[in-house]
Amino acid sequence: MKDDPFEPGSRLVFYARDSGGGEQDLSTAQQEQAARAWCAERGHILTRAFIDAARPGSTTAGRQAFEELIQYLRGGGEGEQGVIIWKWNRFARDIDDAQYFRADIRRRGFEIFSLQDNIPAGLEGRLIESAIDYMNQRYLADLSSDVARGQKYLAQVYHAFPLGRTPVGLRRVPFEIGAHRDGRPHVVSKLEPDPMTAPLVRRAFELRAAGAVYREIHAAVRLFESKPSYSKVLRHTLYIGRFVYQDLVIDGFCDPIVPLPLWQAVQRINADWQEKRNHPRRAASRFLLSGLVACGLCGRPMVGKTTHAPKWPTSRFDYYRCTYSSELERCKARMIPKDALEARALARLVEYVQRRDVLEAVYQETARLAQESSAETDPALARARMELVKLEGEIKNLLSAIKAAGHSSAILAELAALETRRGELAAQVAALEGQRSRAKLAVTLEQVLNVGAQLAGRLLAAEEREQQQLLRSFVRVVTAWKVDGEIMGEITFVLFEREISLPL
């Protein structure tokens, strides 16, 4: 440890972090205890401790205590001379974060001191700090690569499903692929058709192949609360037993629910509809809802048309009409005036994206899904952490034995095996922590409400072309029809990845 850079009696603050796993040498409580002992031994005053427990070092975002520390120092503190930390990797592992915040703190006149990293003062110390930042960033990159490689290996060799949410129609089945070093079974999850929902998924494909629209499919199978959710299901390759993951394409990954010819027929229909929706003429159309409107009677797309009255050639009547027409029949849906439908849809959207009950429902659904994901991840994470802690103890005991009595080739081989297993467990813990972090609610209700208000403001203030682009970015479909001169229908849009269908 380098010499103390502070004068006796200096006022200092302390920052501690752990990730909640086994890769750090001390917990936050142990780090704080060591810092207080260090200050007492040298006559310093520890004024405040900022603690982030079970928070990753890959980013400073979401680390509340770290953010409080920075704001505290930016406000000048309360006469402190510096900040002490246990190690630089407790401060930040991301190289940009580490260098930016370290420079920001120093520019405000505070010294930063690591209790464990032996860094000299001056320019040489800055160079060593940069090297430590590089190694910490390299650790994250290597760990991420190891985790990805491990997940790909399990998927390719054992057909283990590595993702968080299970697609509808399938269910997870525990599968033993070996044993851990302590003899406990090593269990992964494989997929198999769910007897309750798999027949409904197949029925959805059959209906789509016969020309049914999402509204008709939803009425028949009721797999989701909103109709646009069927879009992803009707494209998923897992239903023919094919798993596409990163750069892997694994056929026979699980038992198929849908025959390949039926799946291919549905993909042709999906491609035709997507081509119509994204046609360049629609993207540049003066019809605001071009490519977004579906007929409420038959479910086919509606297109914008213009007609002129014979008596007044210069007059123009713009309307939306259903595209369905064959030699035997034509859709009986009435034409809907362009201005009336667009004004109705725009007004409803502005209303809905600001309505508190709608936004609260979005927020609650996000929270529910996060809780379900955590319920799956937390037990596995707890087991991996316990095994890692136990393994750390075994490694320390072995090192103590080597130090006391020397070593042999057998002992060194055992140590190497334990360290290899430690790396595997650390990667597993990091992967599970990443899944749990992604599952946690990323926004607050206030943020959701604020986004709704901003979106409404943009819809009202934008020019027509910008309005059209904005609508296409979050509106899935506007289903419309006309009854006794009254426009009826439903509008489906997406907020925070949640699909919402409400009356038009």
For 186-210, what is the mean pLDDT? 89
Asked if pLDDT for residue 44 goes beyond 80, the answer is: yes
Residue among 47, 58, 60 at smallest CA distance from 14: 47
Asked if pLDDT for residue 1 goes beyond 50, the answer is: no
CB 15 within 8 A of CB 91: yes
Report the distance separating Cα 247 and Cα 245, nearest Å: 6
Over residues 428-480, the pLDDT tens digits come to 777 676 666 655 555 678 888 888 888 888 888 888 878 888 888 888 889 88
Asked if pLDDT for residue 86 goes beyond 80, the answer is: yes
Residue among 11, 8, 3, 93 at smallest CA distance from 42: 8
For 281-294, what is the mean pLDDT? 74
Residue among 223, 210, 230, 215 at smallest CA distance from 297: 215
Give me the pLDDT at residue 64, please: 82
Report the distance separating Cα 10 and Cα 15, nearest Å: 16
> What is residue 498's three-state secondary structure?
strand
Q: Which helix (H) or strand (E) holds 322?
A: strand 312-322
Report the distance separating Cα 16 and Cα 425, nearest Å: 23
CB 286 within 8 A of CB 222: no
CB 84 within 8 A of CB 5: no
Residue 207 has what DSSP assignment? Answer: H
Residue whose token pair is 């937390």: 378
CB atoms within 10 A of CB 115: 16
CB 62 within 8 A of CB 55: yes
Asked if pLDDT for residue 410 goes beyond 60, the answer is: yes
Confidence of residue 193 (pLDDT cuts 50, 70, 90): very high
Give me the pLDDT at residue 22, please: 45
Give me the pLDDT at residue 127, please: 67
Q: Which helix (H) or strand (E) holds 486?
A: strand 486-495
Beta strands in 53-169 (DSSP E): 82-85, 111-114
Residue type, 477: V
Over residues 300-352, the pLDDT tens digits come to 888 888 886 666 556 678 889 887 765 556 777 888 999 999 999 999 999 99
- Strands 312-322 and 302-309, by their bridges, are antiparallel
Give me the pLDDT at residue 424, please: 72
Mean pLDDT of the chain: 79
Report the distance separating Cα 233 and Cα 204, nearest Å: 9
Q: SS in 3 state form for 70-115?
A: HHHHHCCCCCCCEEEECCHHHHCCCHHHHHHHHHHHHHCCCEEEEC
When mean pLDDT is compared across 89-103, 295-309, 368-382, 487-501, the lowest value belongs to 368-382
Across 128-137, 138-147, 348-357, 464-473, which has the greatest mean pLDDT?
A: 348-357
> What is residue 95's three-state secondary structure?
helix
Query: Hey, what are 365's tokens?
Result: 């659904």
Whole-structure pTM value:
0.41
Report the distance separating Cα 208 and Cα 217, nearest Å: 7
Cα-to-chain-centroid distance, residue 481: 37
Residue whose token pair is 């103590």: 400
